[in-house]
Amino acid sequence: MIQADDGAVRDFLKGLFAAAVNASRGDRVIPAVSSLHGNRWIYAGPGGALELELPTGSGRIIVIGAGKAAVSMASGLEAVLADRIDSGLVIVKRGAAAPLRRIECREGGHPVPDASSAQATRELLNVVDQAQPHDVVFFLLSGGASSLLCQPVDAVAFPDKAMANRLLVTSGASIAEINAVRKHLSAVKGGRLRLRCRATTFCTLAISDVIGDDPSTIGSGPSIADASTFGGALAVIDKYGLAGDMPGSVLAYLRRGEQETPKPGDTSSQVNYRVIASNRVALDAAAAFATSRGFAVRTLTDRMAGHTHDAAREFALNVRRLATGNAVPQVVLAGGETTLAVTGKGTGGRNQEFAAVAAMHLQGIENVSLLAAGTDGTDGPTDAAGAFADGATLQRVRAVNRDLQAHLADNDVYPLLEATGDLYKSGPTGTNVMDLVAALIGGPDL
């Protein structure tokens, strides 16, 4: 294996990434922004102050949740409410479960829901159905919930909905477009979970994995009103040419247009809702980490979107310009979530491809290294969070007798970057606030 970039540089980038994800973990954020005062739960974080009167007598506090960050959020809420929590259940991605004191934890399939997702959702809905009007329900929501919280409408069988989801997530459609379809095939998404719950007080705490932090998009909005329509869902399928492969039951149900999701203005779908962490939080923490070590920081955007390869080229060219312009040592940051249309049969993810494409545009530039990684610690269906790149990446590719363009064409960059020593594996992070790209240009000794 060819020796990768200087270890101290990569350790710095790993430390920066760790600071970013730690700042957006639920077990860090919830105790920092909320507290228990007598019989009141008081929130003082992003989105504005919120105060809830907790139940007395026979009333209960019930906690439900779904998403990649659900277990860390549950841990954070347990730290605040302790034994005031009566019961609860959260669903996380397989391999991410952890013991909790008052709340049960289940695992499900992601990014494609499976039988364990369906079983875990049935258990969660059983908890929801037991809630009474005088109970207080906390709903802990984060990215990944769209797959983990999975209950199809009666007219669509689970395998057909799973197939529809698989087609959507590999089509190149945006998260908003994907969710427009998923909401209309689901008995829990698009506000339907909230409508099912009889508790008068229902509070959603969300960690955002979407650009703009739109509550109706995070996790497909199980507790918030939905502005999308059956017609819009069909338009997404047409736009990406999916009708020929889409299960017939899915198309037939969408075309019938029955049982629309609850719409904005429907008072029965109102909910206390706060986004407690986002990509902006992670970027600010990354910037603080770099500043504390003497670097100037330039944050390009927290709304990085579009095709993965286009975004990677633009980011790399910005870094190349700064690196060749006699700039002071600095860290360049960007956050968001790009879209990767998967047409090949290989193994990889959008952050790995981002790094590979960036490497082509950084070729020959000295004293520049970057890390592109998913803040959840998982890039695509792999065990890598993302990958490193620098001006010598292509040299390492040639040294292992590989063709970078061929690997990109087959969406198969994982084995290539593994061979060159450029993969980054962080393990599950306990949060999910989209992707982070950080480039270090020059700088003092680390």
- What pLDDT digit, counting tens, does each position of 45-98 carry? 999 999 999 998 889 999 999 999 999 999 999 999 999 999 999 999 988 889
Q: Is 436 part of any domain? A: yes
How confident is the model at residue 3, as a pLDDT?
37
Average pLDDT over residues 386-403: 97
Helices then strands (H, E): number in the chain?
Answer: 16, 15
Cα 100 from Cα 92, distance rounded (Å): 13
Q: How confident is the model at residue 325 (pLDDT cuts 50, 70, 90)?
A: confident
Helix or strand holding residue 223 (H, E): none
Q: Is 196 part of any domain? A: yes
Average pLDDT over residues 289-312: 96
Range of the domain at 423: 7-17+280-441
The verdict on 284 and 392 lying in the same domain is yes
User: SS3 of 296, please?
Assistant: strand
CA distances for 335 relative to 212, 329, 431, angstroms: 12, 20, 15
How confident is the model at residue 264, as a pLDDT?
83
The verdict on 199 and 284 lying in the same domain is no
Cα 191 from Cα 223, distance rounded (Å): 4
Summarised one tens digit per residue, pLDDT across range 214-226 is 999 899 999 999 9
Residue 414 has pLDDT above 90, yes or no: yes
Cα 446 from Cα 426, distance rounded (Å): 21
Residue 436 has pLDDT above 60, yes or no: yes
Summarised one tens digit per residue, pLDDT across range 54-65 is 998 889 999 999
Helices (H), 131-247: 145-148, 158-169, 175-184, 192-196, 230-239
Residue 323 has pLDDT above 60, yes or no: yes
Share of the chain above pLDDT 90, in %: 82
How confident is the model at residue 444, as a pLDDT?
54
Cα 353 from Cα 412, distance rounded (Å): 9
How confident is the model at residue 1, as a pLDDT?
29
| CATH number for position 354 | 3.40.1480.10
The verdict on 318 and 403 lying in the same domain is yes
Q: Is 124 part of any domain? A: yes
The verdict on 268 and 142 lying in the same domain is yes
How confident is the model at residue 102, as a pLDDT?
96
The verdict on 12 and 60 lying in the same domain is no
- DSSP labels, 350-417: HHHHHHHHHHHHHTT-SSEEEEEEETTS--TTSS--EEEEETTHHHHHHHTT--HHHHHHTT-HHHHH
Q: Is 57 part of any domain? A: yes
Buried b (16+ CB within 10 A) or exposed e, 126-135: ebbeebeeeb
The verdict on 212 and 349 lying in the same domain is no
The verdict on 217 and 266 lying in the same domain is yes
Q: Is 205 part of any domain? A: yes
Summarised one tens digit per residue, pLDDT across range 150-189 is 899 999 998 998 899 889 988 888 878 998 998 999 999 9
Q: Is 329 part of any domain? A: yes
| CATH number for position 205 | 3.40.50.10180
Cis peptide before 111 (omega within 30 of 0): yes
CB atoms within 10 A of CB 136: 24
| Phi–psi pair at 33, nearest 5 degrees | -115, 0
Summarised one tens digit per residue, pLDDT across range 184-235 is 999 999 999 999 999 999 999 999 999 999 999 899 999 999 999 999 999 9
The verdict on 40 and 126 lying in the same domain is yes
- Pick the closest to residue 77 from 4, 25, 117 (CA basis): 25
Helix or strand holding residue 281 (H, E): helix 279-292
Please count the CA atoms within 13 angstroms of the CA of 58 that sit on its side-chain side.
4
How confident is the model at residue 443, as a pLDDT?
61
Summarised one tens digit per residue, pLDDT across range 248-285 is 999 999 999 988 998 887 755 457 999 999 999 999 99
Average pLDDT over residues 323-338: 89
Task: Tell me how many domains the chain contains.
Answer: 2
How confident is the model at residue 169, as a pLDDT?
83
The verdict on 266 and 324 lying in the same domain is no
Q: Is 267 part of any domain? A: yes
The verdict on 296 and 426 lying in the same domain is yes
How confident is the model at residue 249, as a pLDDT?
96
The verdict on 117 and 212 lying in the same domain is yes
Q: How confident is the model at residue 131 (pLDDT cuts 50, 70, 90)?
A: very high
The verdict on 267 and 321 lying in the same domain is no
Average pLDDT over residues 127-131: 97
Average pLDDT over residues 412-425: 98
Using N-to-C axis directions, what is the helix angle for 7-23 and 279-292, rounded to 10°?
A: 140
Domain boundary among 215, 247, 277: 277
Average pLDDT over residues 113-136: 95
Average pLDDT over residues 388-393: 97
Q: Is 216 part of any domain? A: yes
User: Which amino acid would we find at residue 313?
Assistant: R
